[in-house]
Amino acid sequence: MTDSALKALAEIITTQTEALQAAYARAGAQVPSINAPFQPSPLEFDPNINNIRQLIVAAASQLIATVQSPIEIIQLHTGGMFETATLGFVVDVNVPDLLKEAGSKGLHVDDISAATGVDASYLSRILRFLATRHIFKEVSPNVFANNRNSSLLLKSKTLQEIKDDPIARFDNAPSAAFVHMLSAEPLEAMSCFPSYIKDPSQAATMFNLKFQTPLTLWEWSAQPGYEWRARRIAAVMNGTDAQYSAEEFVSAISSSSASLQENDIIVDVGGSTGSACLTLKKAFPQLRYVVQDLEQPIASAKKFWAENDPEAVESGRVKLEDFEFGLTMPSLSPFPLLSTVHSFFTPQPIKNASIYFLRNIIHDWSDSECKKILGHLREAAGLESKLVAFGTLARHTCEDSRLLENLAEDMSDSKIQKSPYPLLGNLGVGGEGFSTMMDMGTMLFLAGKERTRDEFEQLGKETGWKLESVRPGKLAAFIYSVV
Ligand SMILES: C[S@@+](CC[C@H](N)C(=O)[O-])C[C@H]1O[C@@H](n2cnc3c(N)ncnc32)[C@H](O)[C@@H]1O
């Protein structure tokens, strides 16, 4: 049994590695080397290539989990906090940025020490720890260079620009912002993990318990003096777009069976800068878009649209919802905009929109809060309105034949297939590594969670929305109609 499982895992790795090389070769390219900096290219985000990658990672990690000493496995996983802390630290003191300037020949830890003011012996141990995990490359003893993985930690600014304007240091650097964010407040809040899980009545979340605040993460980060935190969150949010294929959003909207007519409205609820609408507007330029969020994200949204599509806002095609009560959509058939910056916990002012669009919102909230959000949208919806929620589809690690049957009914070209023997039903860290981590993150910060198909269906049932179909993808689309 073990032998056949090992053989099957090795075969998956061999056949899928060949498939990966062939896919790159068809595009006239080669699978990127780990020693070269990461270059965003369409191939990095291609859904078919992504499926191949997932199988390789699923099989390779299962192979490791099978053959490595269980003592080592448990020891290594137990030390996971050192990965978070060391990654956050190197980003904080700009090590990847220094190494970029040094190029492929790398930089000695003494020079990194001189530039950062950090003791060289700490640096050499931290960088060796990370290079052992394939983040940074040690080109010669104590001389380190960026590799494909560490290059993702780069900021988009020069060292001088970072020094001159530290509040803006993570602008356009989503991965660096994400690493820095996770290594700060969440790492601190993790100290409350066991106490909170045993007695959740202590506070709304572990974050609230640790920081002794009644505010949500969003409200807390918006406080005066914390501007850099809000700016860091915005950098993370803006960057998520680059990881998605526009096609997934466009095809979900097309398949939502909303009969989209000229000037119909899509409301991007909790839309942050409204970057999803920018993607949709390219495919559906005849529609109108309303972006709703709290005060600070809407301020960032104004900057975002001014830079990316100023004409859209001027023409009224895209509305950043912070108009005063009673103002009307400029230059197009008017309708009242009832709120200022809009909270989705209050009645939805845009009635009978064609689509209420939520991306990465549901997982931020507990079931009871989600029901409030979906309930307000249901009250505003017309009979033909659709709710399209994008988020993670949580999957069990064992085989889930009911999910596979449901998805097959939902769409004929379902991308979720039964995992090949002997892989986990959700492909383990190859498939759901990040989303299970985010599940812990939402638990820690927001009392939210990643939900299974059944849980999404149930939320709809309790708020007057029928889950019509689920389209799996990097972000799954959950398409609801009114009941
Ligand atoms: C995970 S982000 C998703 C942003 C955006 N939908 C996207 O996909 O890029 C969650 C968003 O919800 C917003 N938010 C939090 N509480 C809110 C509320 N009460 N009303 C409206 N938006 C809220 C946050 O400001 C943030 O922009």
Among 176, 194, 229, where does a domain finish?
A: 229
Say whether both 225 and 276 belong to one domain.
no
Say whether both 202 and 344 belong to one domain.
no
| Among 244, 216, 239, 352, CA closest to 290 | 352
Res 334: pLDDT: 42
In percent, how much of the chain has pLDDT > 70?
Answer: 94
Say whether both 302 and 430 belong to one domain.
yes
Among 49, 74, 99, where does a domain finish?
A: 74
Residue 30 lies in a domain: yes
| Among 329, 334, 475, 338, CA closest to 394 | 475
**Is 385 in contact with 376 (CB distance < 8 Å)?**
no
The larger pLDDT score, comparing residue 401 to residue 81, is at 81
Res 302: pLDDT: 84
Res 258: pLDDT: 65
CB within 8 A of 483, min separation 6: which ones? 464, 465, 466
Domain count, the chain: 3
Residue 177 lies in a domain: yes
The average pLDDT across 128-145 equals 98
295 CA distance to ligand 1 middle (Å): 11
Reported as a pLDDT band with limits 50, 70 and 90, residue 233 is confident
Say whether both 217 and 270 belong to one domain.
no
The average pLDDT across 28-41 equals 94
Question: Is the alpha carbon torsion for 272, 274, 277, 282 positive or negative?
Answer: negative
- Convert the pLDDT of each residue in 169-221 to its tens digit: 999 999 999 999 999 999 999 999 999 999 999 999 999 999 999 998 878 88
Q: Is this prediction's ipTM beyond 0.95? A: yes
Cα separations (Å) of 70 from 2, 43, 56?
15, 36, 22
293 CA distance to ligand 1 middle (Å): 6
| Among 329, 344, 322, 341, CA closest to 263 | 329
Residue 194 lies in a domain: yes
Atom in ligand 1 nearest the alpha carbon of residue 361: 10
**Is 115 in contact with 98 (CB distance < 8 Å)?**
yes
Task: Judge residue 290's burial from the number of C-beta atoms within 10 Å of its C-beta, 0-12 exposed, 13-18 middle, 19 or more buried.
Answer: buried
| Among 175, 400, 377, CA closest to 267 | 377
Atom in ligand 1 nearest the alpha carbon of residue 344: 20
> Which of 360, 369, 435, 445 for mutating ligand 1's site (highest number of atoms within 8 Å of CB)?
360
Tokens of 119: 């003791």
The protein residue whose alpha carbon is closest to atom 14 in ligand 1 is 270
Residue 135 lies in a domain: no
360 CA distance to ligand 1 middle (Å): 8
> Which of 178, 219, 229, 237 for mutating ligand 1's site (highest number of atoms within 8 Å of CB)?
237
440 CA distance to ligand 1 middle (Å): 18
- Convert the pLDDT of each residue in 434-459 to its tens digit: 999 999 999 999 889 999 999 999 99
**Helix axes 47-67 and 428-446, enclosed angle (nearest 10):** 90
271 CA distance to ligand 1 middle (Å): 6
343 CA distance to ligand 1 middle (Å): 9
Domain that holds residue 16: 2-74
359 CA distance to ligand 1 middle (Å): 8
Reported as a pLDDT band with limits 50, 70 and 90, residue 1 is low
The residue behind tokens 């509040």 is 167
The protein residue whose alpha carbon is closest to atom 27 in ligand 1 is 272
Ligand 1 pocket list (CB less than 6 A):
218, 237, 240, 270-272, 275-276, 293-294, 297, 343-345, 359-361, 364
Can you tell me the distance from the alpha carbon of 441 to that of 236, in angstroms, rounded to the nearest whole number? 14
Strand partners, 387: 356, 480
Atom in ligand 1 nearest the alpha carbon of residue 272: 27
Among 74, 105, 120, where does a domain finish?
A: 74
Say whether both 406 and 465 belong to one domain.
yes
Res 414: pLDDT: 52
Least confident of 106-120, 185-199, 295-309, 320-334: 320-334
Residue 124 lies in a domain: no
Can you tell me the distance from the alpha carbon of 262 to that of 64, in angstroms, rounded to the nearest whole number? 54
454 CA distance to ligand 1 middle (Å): 24
Rounded to 5 degrees, φ, ψ at 478 are -110, 115
Say whether both 356 and 472 belong to one domain.
yes
